[in-house]
Amino acid sequence: SPCQNGASCIKKVGRYFCECSTAHVGKNCHKKPDPCLSKPCANGGTCSPISSGSDYTCACAAGYTGKNCTAEPDPCLSKPCANGGTCSPISSGSDYTCACAAGYTGKNCTAASDHCSSKPCLNGGSCTSANNSYICTCALSHTGRNCEIHVDECSSSAERCQYGGTCQNLDGGYSCKCVAGYVGSSCEIAVDKCSRFPCENGGTCSNRGGDFVCQCPPTYTGKNCSQDVDECKTLFPCLHGGSCENVAGSYRCSCTANYQGSNCETGNYTCQCPSGFTGQNCQLGMDSCSAKPCKNGATCEPAGATFSCQCAVGYTGRYCENGCINRLIADIDECQPSNPCYNGGTCVNEEGAYSCQCSDGFTGKHCDLDVDHCWALPCLNGGTCKSSLFNYTCACPDNFSGINCHLDVDECKSNNSCSADQMCVNTYGGYKCSCKTGYYGENCTLALSTCDSSPCLNGGFCSNTEIGFSCVCPVGFAGKTCEKSFDACYDMPCQNGGTCTSTLSRTYTCSCREGFAGKHCEIGRYTDIRP
C-alpha cells in the first residue's frame, strides 16, 4: 500500500487516496503537518517549527510571554519599587503597586516622606526630616525627642543667679530673686548703696559686698563717719604746754604765754641748749666734734652728746688749751680782737676756749646756721614746709588750707566737675560726684530697684531691670503688673487641632484629636524609626 504511517488507502479508477491521521499529511501520509500553519503565536509572536516537525516555539513580542505569547509579563520583574519597597501586581496583570518602606512615598517609593508635616517638635523646637525619621532641635528651655520636657534651669551646675540670688524656675526660662543690694536679670548689678550719701562729715563712700563702706577723714570715725575723733587724745597737737580742747571735726589749742599759732608752735624765746644739741628748741642733735673744740693739734673723739680731747705733748686742759710756758699757764681770750660769733651772736671767753650765744633764728658754733623750723614736719596733708628766720610757712595743696594745711577745702562750694544729673559730695581732701536719689550707674541713668514695693499682682514674679521692673505673670493674667485677667485658652495652647477648655482656676485642659496625646496634644502616634 502506498499510504504510510497507518493511513487507509482508497482505490479509485486509475488512482488512489490516502486517508491520513491527524499526525501526518502528504499524498502518501508520509509527512508530519507544519505546526506553525495554524499561527499559534499570538500578539505578533513569530512561530518556528521544532526539528521533529511536530512542535513549535514562539518568539514573543515585547510585553508578552507564554507558549503562544498570550500571557502578559509580570510588572514586578523590573523591580520598580525603590528604597526597599515591595511590588505587588494588580489583578489585571499589567500594573503594580508599591508598599513603601518607612520614610518613603510615591508610585515607585522614590520620594522621601516629610516626617515634619505633623509638627512633632513642641515648645518652639525646629524639625528636620531625616531619611526615615525626624530630628528636633529644641530651645534651651526644653529637651526630649519632641522637646516635650521642660528644662529646670535652676537645677543645672551653672550659677544662674549671682551674689546669693535665688533661682526660680519658670515655664520657658528662669528668674532670679536678688538679695538686697543687687539687681539685674542674674543679680549681676550691685545697687549703688552710696547714692544716698551715707558717709557724713566728708567721708568717702565705696560699694562693697552689697553694702557700703565709708573712708572717714582723720577727724571722724564710725560706719557713717558720724563719730568725732578726739584729736587731743590721739594727736596731742598743742605744743609748748598748750592745753587742747576737742571740737567737732577738729581741736583748739590754748597757748601758754609767749606762744601762739594753731598748735602753739610759734614763740619769742631763746633756748640755751646743752652740749651736743642745737636749734630753736634744742631739737637738733649735732656732731660733738664738728665745731673742732680741741686746740693745739689735739684729736677730738665723739662721746655721745659730748667729746674728749687727746692733747698733744705739752698741752693740757679739757680742750688742750693750756700750754706750759716757763711753768705758767696762760689763757688766750679768743673773743679778742675780733668777734668769732656771727649774726649778732655774743662771744663768751672761757678758760682755754670760747662760746657763742646766738641771736634768735641762728645756731651753730659761730651762730652761722639758720634754725630749721621745719624739723618737726608741721605741714600736714602733703603741705610743703619752708623755714624762715624766726618761723616757717606751709605751702598747702589745693584741697587743704590753714597754717598747717589741716583744714579741708570744700570743693563743692567752688569749682567741681559734677554734671547737672549728679550731686557733689565733699570728702576729706577732695570731692565725689554721686547720683541723685533713685538713680545709679556711671552716668546716673539707671533707676534703683522698684521691686521692693511688690508691684506685680496676682502672684506675678517681679524682676528688676535697668529701666525699672518687669512682671512674669501666672497663667490667666497679663499686663505690666499682671492686673488683667483673661481666658487661659487665649493663646491657643492646645496643638495639633486639640480643643482648649478654660477652668475656674484660670488654667486650661486640652481635648486631643485621635492620634495625639500630652498636656498640649503635642505627642503624635508615629513610628520612631531611627537609622
pLDDT digits (tens, 9 = 90+) for 116-167: 877 889 888 888 877 667 889 888 778 888 888 887 778 765 677 887 888 8
In a domain, 496, yes or no: yes
Nearest-angstrom CA–CA distance, 91 and 74: 11
| Structure-block grid coordinates of residue 269 | 624765746
In a domain, 122, yes or no: no
**Rounded mean pLDDT of 172-193?**
77
- 331 band by pLDDT with thresholds 50, 70 and 90: low
Instruction: List the CATH number of the domain containing 507.
Output: 2.10.25.10
In a domain, 521, yes or no: yes
The mean predicted confidence, pLDDT, of the chain is: 78
Structural domain that includes position 498: 487-530
Nearest-angstrom CA–CA distance, 336 and 379: 43
In a domain, 503, yes or no: yes
Our CA dihedral for 410, 415, 421, 422, rounded to 10 degrees, sits at -30
| Structure-block grid coordinates of residue 215 | 573712708
In a domain, 229, yes or no: no
In a domain, 520, yes or no: yes
**Rounded mean pLDDT of 301-309?**
73
Res 97: pLDDT: 92
Nearest-angstrom CA–CA distance, 463 and 476: 19
Confidence check: pLDDT of 285 > 70: no
**Rounded mean pLDDT of 464-483?**
70
Contact 159, 186 (CB under 8 A): no
**Rounded mean pLDDT of 514-523?**
80
**Rounded mean pLDDT of 498-524?**
79
Contact 464, 449 (CB under 8 A): yes
The more confidently predicted of residues 326 and 127 is 127
- The total of structural domains in the chain comes to 1
3 state DSSP class of 331: coil
Res 41: pLDDT: 93
The secondary structure of residue 249, as a DSSP letter, is: T
**Rounded mean pLDDT of 307-319?**
82
Res 102: pLDDT: 74
Confidence check: pLDDT of 328 > 50: no
The secondary structure of residue 71, as a DSSP letter, is: B
What is the pTM assigned to this prediction? 0.28
| Structure-block grid coordinates of residue 27 | 499524498
In a domain, 233, yes or no: no
Handedness of CA 492, 496, 501, 503 (dihedral sign): negative
In a domain, 508, yes or no: yes
